[in-house]
Structure 1
């Protein structure tokens, strides 16, 4: 170790020769490299009252969804989902469209999957926090899902039952399927009561059923309805709480552009 340290020492000359040495070359002039300029417009969260053209929604899974403002004309040109905005209080008509695979028997709602499995959802009519009411809402044929509205003691939720496997998937709110049936977007607005999550969920539909890809709860606006566009983007109708002066803000619209990795 001592020999190694001695050979590396900068305090002693490398040789004892007295021969003259060449003068050290002057360092070549260097050109200063300017620091990269910051972007002209910074990315900002789209959880704001007024959207801009450079907003994003960032999820806990690391995905970044581009969000841009849209106008009402684009909203009106986009076809709404086949599923009603709210479930019908009378189940007879939507049940009749299932070919007998979904039936009501008293408190029980029975859904029979293609693989032979029957899923039974039973209402709890007790006057307690356990009370629950399952109401058949409709179906998303392209995504192979039956949709059931769930009324809770406080608030509500939605259940998807896969028509092929009987897999149950609990989601926040109204689901809409992408044109190719590969994805489902669930949206729910609850700014006032705050009983339920206020935000968006994206699910990917696989062979066994839907699987959650990302979700994002929102603070400053609520998604009252979402519609898929033919290009795979999504347009969302936004709901806002009253201003400090008590005035209600009108609905606005934004488009969500999903990351290329999941399109």
Structure 2
């Protein structure tokens, strides 16, 4: 019989680095309750509808320096109806049950008072207008009730669940960190908005989309090895 040398065992497979970054796989909703984040299919994610079609925004500081926000807003205002109007530096909203509201831009060089309000969209499913509020550094979003005029500050444009009873706001700013990274869950009750929970995280949440009335898929941005990487994940936000 021919001599045979023992076969060296194959090395154990080494999982990609993403699977060894454990902090990306959980979200602490409340003390004692941890939600598990699962990897998801990008193909499934891309087929899910977006509850709100958002305008194009600059993807870099260089693009933002030359981007004409005013021109883009004028295009949106053409279809906003008579309840939303801009007159020079003032944006007017006219709720049905209260006096008109005005939002005045201030282009002051003073960082504390520099502010600009931009009309983004109407969201009839939750009876809100969406405004972008731009500061000297950073920004946030404002929801304004179309009946009462009540204002609600949120981290990002809302992704509304199919039954319109909840929405999530996910934000990602893992490089500059002027804005919070993480996720908010809101409930809608007779047009009133209530924050159920919010969590700031080490990773960012971009463009969440609802798989059903309890589960979202989103792009999870994370900073690793001096660069930002992204994967698609699934998270059940409601029991």
Q: Same fold (TM over 0.5)?
A: yes
**Are residues 1:126 and 2:108 paired?**
yes
1:191 to 157, 174, 197: 174
Partner of 1:80: 50
Partner of 1:163: 146
Identify unmatched segments of 5+ residues in structure 2.
1-19, 58-67
Partner of 1:254: 233
Max Rg structure: 1
Residue 185 (structure 1) shift: 0.8
**Are residues 1:100 and 2:100 paired?**
no
8 Å Cα contact 1:49-1:240 kept in structure 2 = no
Give the TM-score normalised by the residue count of structure 1. 0.71
Alignment of 1:1-263 (within 5 A): 49=21, 55-60=25-30, 64-84=34-54, 86=56, 89=69, 90-129=72-111, 130-219=113-202, 221-243=203-225, 246-249=226-229, 251-260=230-239
8 Å Cα contact 1:158-1:171 kept in structure 2 = yes
Moved over 3 A (4+): 48-52, 60-66, 85-88
Question: C-alpha distance in 2, partners of 1:61/1:186?
Answer: 21
Closer/same/farther in 2, CA of residues 67 and 117 from structure 1, 3 Å limit: farther
Between the two proteins, the alignment pairs up a number of residues equal to 207
Which stretch of structure 1 is more off in the superposition, 87-96 or 171-180? Answer: 87-96
Closer/same/farther in 2, CA of residues 248 and 63 from structure 1, 3 Å limit: closer
Question: C-alpha distance in 2, partners of 1:182/1:61?
Answer: 25
String of CA shifts for 1:144-168, please: whole Å, max 9, x gaps.
Answer: 1111011101101000001121110
Closer/same/farther in 2, CA of residues 91 and 63 from structure 1, 3 Å limit: farther
Question: C-alpha distance in 1, partners of 2:190/2:213?
Answer: 24
Closer/same/farther in 2, CA of residues 62 and 96 from structure 1, 3 Å limit: farther
Which stretch of structure 1 is more off in the superposition, 162-171 or 88-97? Answer: 88-97
Question: C-alpha distance in 1, partners of 2:88/2:32?
Answer: 45
